[in-house]
Amino acid sequence: MSQSAYEIKTPLITLRITIMEISRLHIHEEIIPEILLKLAEKIKHDGVFRDPVIVDEKTLVVLDGMHRVASIKHLGLKYIPVCLVDYDNPNINLYSWSRVVKQRQTDLDEARKLLLNSITKLGLRIVNIPDLDKGLGILSRRELTAIISLGKTNIGVKSRSREIKIIYDDVKRIEEATRLHGFEIEYYTEKDALELVNSNKAVAAIIPPTITKKEVRDAALRGEVFIHKATRHVIPARPVGVNVPLAWLSGSYPLNEVQRMLVEYLSNRKLRTLPPGSILDRRYEEELYVFE
């Protein structure tokens, strides 16, 4: 254990928990003001920073925790707890979030017609997708902006470009158009989204293509951001409950001193592991390392 980071060596990945200057980090997704303000208020109320944000150790691109980074900035703090990981580790998987379209009205057929009409009004061309698996293959080649699953039928939205940033900008346009027509958008895994649509519990599932790790890094280092919920990173293991006092993050102490304090603090606490699928504040897909 070094003086600058607390290490957890797991079978699939090494987690290095430390404190960093927030100005060195690069985010890759946009910040939603409402989420930012609500989270900042909670962190301030708690008086501690609960879970470290997940960061690529090579480039300092934030993989998970964009709004926590923005909240710390909003509170005027200088440092932030991070968990450094090797993003090139093949055990770190990257997926997309599917958009599930919901509406209170019960006439699904009318709702689905309205949804498709709102998309075509954007000037985007739609095509029939007879086979979902083949459609997902076309999606992966960036020939489609998204697949719209309507239960028994699937529609493809033709992409204007194979450039992933342009594709996701169009996904955002689709989201905004659906909301203007009274729909609600929620975010699910592709599997869960399709189950909701196939059981008629949702109007549609919007499935966008998956962004690559290189595209995440490149965009963030250029200072560009994708839309909210563009990436879904699944890390083999995740540390939670570090509960770093906010006073340590103010910048009143030298960084190396705060790092030393963190290592000593975590070394004196018990560490409990929980299997994937465990529920704390939410359901986690990863193995958890919980500080108690």
With CA atoms as reference, report the closest residue to 265 among 94, 38, 105, 48: 48
Q: Is 39 domain-assigned?
A: yes
Confidence class of residue 123 from pLDDT cuts 50, 70 and 90?
very high
Q: H or E stretch including 15?
A: strand 14-21
Q: Is 267 domain-assigned?
A: yes
Rounded mean pLDDT, 240-257: 97
For position 184, which CATH number holds?
3.30.1760.10
Handedness of CA 137, 143, 148, 152 (dihedral sign): negative
55: region left, alpha or beta (phi > 0 left; psi from -120 to 50 alpha): beta
What are the backbone angles phi and psi of residue 259, rounded to the nearest 5°?
A: -65, -45
Rounded mean pLDDT, 180-205: 95
Confidence (pLDDT) at 119: 94
Give residue-wise pLDDT tens across range 66-92.
999 999 999 999 999 999 999 999 999
Q: Is 271 domain-assigned?
A: yes
pLDDT of 220 > 80? The answer is: yes
**CA contacts within 13 A on the Cβ side of 165:** 15
Q: Is 63 domain-assigned?
A: yes
Confidence (pLDDT) at 1: 59
Quick one: 66 and 114 in the same domain? no
Residue linked to tokens 């993003």: 87
Confidence (pLDDT) at 216: 98
Quick one: 18 and 113 in the same domain? no
The whole-chain average pLDDT of the chain stands at 95
For position 280, which CATH number holds?
3.90.1530.10
Q: Is 31 domain-assigned?
A: yes
Quick one: 198 and 268 in the same domain? no
pLDDT of 167 > 80? The answer is: yes
Give residue-wise pLDDT tens across range 96-112.
999 999 987 678 889 99
**Number of folded domains that form the chain:** 2
Q: Is 40 domain-assigned?
A: yes
With CA atoms as reference, report the closest residue to 174 among 133, 134, 136, 204: 204
What are the backbone angles phi and psi of residue 6, rounded to the nearest 5°?
A: -95, 120
Give residue-wise pLDDT tens across range 128-155.
999 999 999 999 999 999 999 998 899 9
| Domain assignment of residue 17, given as a range | 6-92+233-291
Quick one: 189 and 153 in the same domain? yes
